[in-house]
Amino acid sequence: MNLRSLIPFGRDRRLARRETDPFTAMQREIDRLFEDFARDAYDWPNYPTRELTPRTDVVESDKVIEITAELPGLEEKDVEVTFVDGVLTVSGEKKAEKEERDKNYRLFERSYGSFSRRLQLPDGIDADAITASISNGVLKVTVPKPAPGEAKKVTIKSAA
């Protein structure tokens, strides 16, 4: 048995100490979380779910809000657009299969996953007026803005 295997070491290979002060222990744990976050941040571009989140542009004019989402390889049957309680949700599922054959090898790759993107829209949107279309993997959702409310003068009556 190796003596080193019996000595408790911390994350940075120094001898671990027990903290009696709970605030110092909490500070060390927060520092560790930030160190882990910074170290893992470099892996985020390669993280699989990043591919599943559609890139979305929102452009607002005087009359409409246009939402454009990049959904390469997807068709109308793969995407769903819903509007409930002022929230527009674009969701769907990506499925891809790729097969290559050669004399010496056969490569068969599959990837799949679901995505969902939600956008809070202003009050007063008419759900029946929302339109959506998809062409060449680009989803375009057009949301007509509600007419601005008009001020109405209220007459005041005496209470006696």
Per-residue pLDDT tens for 34-78? 777 766 555 555 444 455 678 889 999 889 999 999 888 888 888
* Domain annotation covers residue 67: yes
* Domain annotation covers residue 93: yes
> Binning pLDDT at 50, 70 and 90, where does residue 26 land?
confident
* Domain annotation covers residue 71: yes
Task: Please give the tally of structural domains in the chain.
Answer: 1
Q: Which domain holds residue 70?
A: 54-144
Per-position b or e across 118-153, b if 16+ CB within 10 A of its CB: ebebeeebeeeebebebeeeebebebebeeeeeeee
* Domain annotation covers residue 136: yes
pLDDT tens figures, 91-145: 988 877 788 888 888 888 877 788 888 999 888 888 899 999 999 889 999 999 8
* Domain annotation covers residue 100: yes
